[in-house]
Amino acid sequence: MPLAATLAFLPSPRQATAVVRLTVPRGQIQEVMGPAIGEVFQALAAQGLKPAGPLFSYHLRMDPAVFDLEVGVPVGPGFEPQGRVVASELPAVEVARAVHEGGYEGLGPSWGEFRARLEAQGIPRTEGLWESYARGPESSSDPAEWRTELNQPLAR
What are the angstrom distances between the C-alpha of 19 and each of 14, 24, 37, 39, 71?
A: 15, 15, 8, 9, 5
Q: How many whole angstroms separate alpha carbon 72 and alpha carbon 131?
A: 11
Q: What is the mean pLDDT of residues 131-140?
A: 93
Q: What is the CATH number of domain 1-103?
A: 3.20.80.10
Query: Mean pLDDT: which of 26-30, 41-45, 61-65, 126-130 is highest?
Result: 41-45
pTM score over 0.85: yes
Number of residues that this document lists for the chain: 156
pLDDT digits (tens, 9 = 90+) for 79-125: 999 999 999 999 999 999 999 999 999 998 999 999 999 999 999 99
Residue 128: phi and psi, rounded to 5, are: -70, 165
Q: Do residues 21 and 40 touch, judged by C-beta distance below 8 A?
A: no
In the chain, domain spans: 1-103
